Amino acid sequence: MRRRTKFHINPKHVLIAGVILCVGFLGISFRFGEQLAPVRSAVGAVFTPMQKGINIVGTFLSDKLDNFRDINDLLDENKDLKDQINVLTYENKMLLQDKYELDRLRDLYVLDQKYQDYPKVAARVIAKPGNWYSVFTIDKGTKDGLAKDMNVLAGNGLVGIITECYYNYSIVRSIVDDKSYVSAMFLKTADTCFVQGDLQLMDQGKIRVISISKDAEIEDGHEVVTSNISPNFLEGILIGYVSDIELDASNMTKTAYLTPAVDFEHLEEVLIITELKEPQMKEPPKESDSGAETPNTETPATETPATETDSGAAADAESGTDTETGTNIE
């Protein structure tokens, strides 16, 4: 105890020092966010194996518990299922015939086919930072050939994009996240729009689609895919199906809701397309490397300037009205 009394400091002074330190950190990370990546990478490298481990243990335990609980249900279900098999085998034959037809049609439908050929890497979702964000960590990183801005899929729909990539883990922002903002288009009519995540709609399993041209001939159930003018997303990846189309108060654009093709509630494994969209370069690559990476800290930051160019391009293709709403969003 004697030692401690000699070491006495006024907590108030420490608090002031801490606050100054925090503000300093904020300033530094705001200004030089890029240079801090190695620090984050190192810390993350320590935690990734731990998070992975605890996930395995947790899943194992809950699986075991579920086993006991479910055994009776399973017996009943098994009986029902056997009956169903008979019906289904018959139906399956019918469907196979349809499938051959579908395959033929798909060959014609080049856009749909496109993203099935991209090289992909599978990864596991291992951590999630908090209740406010739909951001998650996956267990693959630069050592598996991933990089920032690579597109993430699950099943056959878009999940999100890698916002930060480190040695053995990466952080993915999903399209339902409040800050996500994806340039998209309708598969049928090629009308452009923006898919914007919204925490308020997440519970209903929906996200918002904005800035649809008022002349777009779309209906409920039409597919929305990533657009050809998006700077980061590869073209033609299915995002989801549109519903509840409404004309905006401004009478110039339409807004709609979108049901994602991916089940975000139960996301355990994802696929990452290891091919990046060809970046737009004003100058030869040497210069643009440093230039393109500066607003790197967040996707919205990188997407924001893109949004403007996007809506500009959209305005060229569509009527002039789009430009105004494009700037309004900001």
Partner 1 sequence: MKRFLIYLSEILILFVIQTSTFHYFGLADIMPNLLLILVVSSAYMRGRLTGLGIGFFTGLLMDIVYGELIGLYAFIYMIIGYFTGYANKIYSDDDYTLPIVFAAVGDFVFGLYNYIFDFLLRGRLNLLFYFRRIILPEMIYTIAVSIFLYKLLHMINHHLERKINEEE
Q: β-pairing, 192-196 with 181-186?
A: antiparallel
Q: Is 297 in the site for partner 1 (CB under 8 A)?
A: yes
Q: Is 200 in the site for partner 1 (CB under 8 A)?
A: yes
**Site mask, partner 1, residues 140-179, x = CB under 8 A?**
-------------------------------x------xx
**Site mask, partner 1, residues 180-199, x = CB under 8 A?**
-------------------x
By beta-carbon proximity to partner 1, the closer residue of 55 and 259 is 55
Q: Cβ of residue 265: shortest distance to partner 1, in angstroms?
A: 8
Task: Quickly list DSSP for 263-285.
Answer: -GGG--EEEEE--PPPPP-SS-H
Q: Of 216, 189, 195, nearest to 319 (Cα)?
A: 216
Q: Cβ of residue 146: shortest distance to partner 1, in angstroms?
A: 18
By beta-carbon proximity to partner 1, the closer residue of 22 and 247 is 22
Q: Which stretch binds partner 1 (CB under 8 A): 25-33, 89-97, 270-278, 285-293?
A: 25-33
Report the alpha-carbon distance of residue 159 to residue 156 in Å, rounded.
Answer: 9
Q: Is 122 in the site for partner 1 (CB under 8 A)?
A: no
Q: Is 110 exposed, middle or buried (0-12, 13-18, 19+ CB in 10 A)?
A: exposed
Binders of partner 1 among 226-285, rule CB under 8 A? 265
**CA dihedral defined by 213, 214, 217, 222, rounded to 10 degrees?**
60
Q: Which of 80, 83, 98, 203 binds partner 1 (CB under 8 A)?
A: 203
The C-alpha angle 126, 132, 133, rounded to 5 degrees, equals: 45
Read off the tokens for 63: 């699986």
